[in-house]
A and B are shown apart, each in its own frame.
Chain A
Amino acid sequence: MKIKVGLAQLKPSLGDLERNLELHLSLIKRAKSDKLDLIVFPELSLTGYFLKDMVPVVSLDLQASIIEKLKQESKGISIIFGFVEESENHEFYNSAAYLEDGRVIKVHRKVYLPTYGMFDEQRYFGSGERIRAFETKFGRVGILICEDAWHPSTSYILAEDGAKLVFFLSSSPARGIREGEQIGSAQIWERINRTTAFSYSLYVVSVNRVGYEDGVNFWGGSEIIGPDGQVVAKGEYLQEGFLSETLDLGKVRRARMYTPLLRDEKLYLTLRELERIYEQRAANQP
């Protein structure tokens, strides 16, 4: 199966839902006119990232009219976007939704909320409790949001759960300007994307935003890495852009024939050892 995917490397306005919705709609329109199957937006694409006390102001439940509008749009194209989700119990999550044929078929709540250095997510968001692959018309896929992907366990779970495509949605700030090197945080991300794609023989579709918020730059550089760990498509750094490419699931099959790492993976061994470590830690609690 071949899937035409578009990566929307946009620059949201911080806390302006209406303006960001317009931006989404115009890019969806473009993707439809390019006859794409799927469009992917970055983390918190509807709201911007450093929201602080705006979190409960821009939050949406799944019945909100903005989500409804995007659901209608998904009748012609599948859509993955980022937003602040408000649960029935008024908990707020840094979430991503997958829309297909007018329905929300998956919401992923960010599990690993960075709260150190420049980040403060746990102050504002609840953390997700699930990492699961899910069925789409393009086969089984998974979604991770930014810091989620920095934990190797998350991709491992998705791969074991059958994902052949994983989508990384991020708002990654640029930091690190060392001589002879590219943006420090970009180099780390690119290593993670390549390693993940190769280790689990799957496609990594990584979408990062651009623009500035309070002096913090988001570096863009969205990319698609094939199941052999090689770069399939690479967006520009530091500027808005739209990257489109055709993914070929035959490539996943061929990669898994050539290097059957997943076939040989001993899930029970991993599970047994992790359980042992977990039990020992629990027993050693003071």
Chain B
Amino acid sequence: MNKELLINPELTARLLKDFIADEVRKVGFSKVVIGLSGGIDSATTAYLAVSSLGPEGVSGIMMPYRTSNPQSEKDALLVTERLGIEHLRVDITPMVEPLFQTFPQMDRLRRGNVMARERMVILYDQSREKSALVLGTSNKTEYLLGYTTLWGDMACALAPLGDLYKTQVYQLAAFLGVPPRILQKKPSADLWAGQTDEEELGFTYEKVDTLLYYMVDKRFTFSELEELGYKREFVKDVFKRIQTSQYKRRLPLIAKLSERTIDRDFRYPRDWGR
């Protein structure tokens, strides 16, 4: 791996542990809920949350669909057992099937989005029920590439992994003691059988993370990236993905009419008065 992507996992774990504790507690909460997929991002998020709030402060919610890989649920369960956190299983099949039947021509991308948004509905309902904040599990690679569902898996109160590339999440996961079984399997959104992220994206995380690092963090120009050995086409493809998914990373546009418009000239931190 490119050494620029190597992190100090102990320091990172500490910063994120304190981040969760501070931002959860100062808004009057002491608990979080996390959607557990059995994958590395949600497992890592759960390990961080437990280090921060203790096992009593974390609930893992497993929300399989009938075609989900049964191994995913086993891996999610393993996380809850290792961490000693409470868990809840909510099968989303009976909730999403009626919509799929209403629109039988729905392709798998639409279906995937519906599933991601159904899971959001369940997490936010549990959040209310348990007086807990929703912890997001998206990482920086996904955010930048737009490899996420708007108002679906992106919906959360706090996103502890949002400034770590996927390859950095692995380093953190290994440090936190996430079970090797979860570290070793191929990343997958598990929206349909046999889906893997890298196959769907068309490149490996390691390759794209290094490019993203130079392009986004270091602001190399296209020609400087080519000098590093990246093919022009790949650079342009990745840039296009970032550009076209920009809308996902922002709140809806508000038409400017008054003298003080929300988020344009009405600017307050979210931790306003906290």
Contacts and interface: CB of A to CB of B under 8 A. Distances in A.
Interface string B1-30: 001001110011011001100110010000
B8 A181 contact: yes
Interface string A255-281: 000000000000000000000000000
B269 A238 contact: no
Interface stretch (A9-17, A77-85, A149-157, A159-167): A9-17
B268 interface: yes
A14 B269 CA distance: 9
B19 A182 contact: no
Contacts of A214: 269-271
Interface string A1-25: 0000000000001111000000000
A14 B271 contact: yes
A238 B11 CA distance: 10
Contact of B269 (A51, A181, A217): A51
B218 interface: no
Interface string A163-186: 000000000001001111111000
Contacts of B274: 13-14, 16
Interface of A (DSSP majority class): loop
Nearest to B267: A52
Interface in A184-224: 211-215, 217
A241 to B, nearest CB: 14
B268 A213 contact: no
Given A179-B7, A181-B8, A238 B18 contact: yes
Contacts of A182: 8, 11
B12 A15 contact: no
A51 B3 CA distance: 36
A242 interface: no
B103 interface: no
A53 interface: yes
B8 A180 contact: yes
Contacts of A66: none
A50 interface: yes
A135 to B, nearest CB: 38
29 contacts: A13-B274, A14-B269, A14-B271, A14-B273, A15-B273, A16-B274, A52-B267, A52-B269, A53-B267, A54-B272, A177-B8, A177-B15, A178-B6, A179-B6, A179-B8, A181-B8, A182-B8, A182-B11, A212-B18, A212-B19, A212-B23, A212-B271, A213-B269, A214-B270, A215-B19, A215-B158, A217-B15, A217-B18, A238-B15
What are the nearest 8 A-B pairs in CB distance? A179-B6, A212-B22, A52-B267, A214-B269, A50-B269, A177-B12, A53-B267, A177-B7
Given A51-B269, A212-B23, A215-B23, 5 more contacts: A54-B269, A177-B8, A212-B18, A214-B271, A215-B19
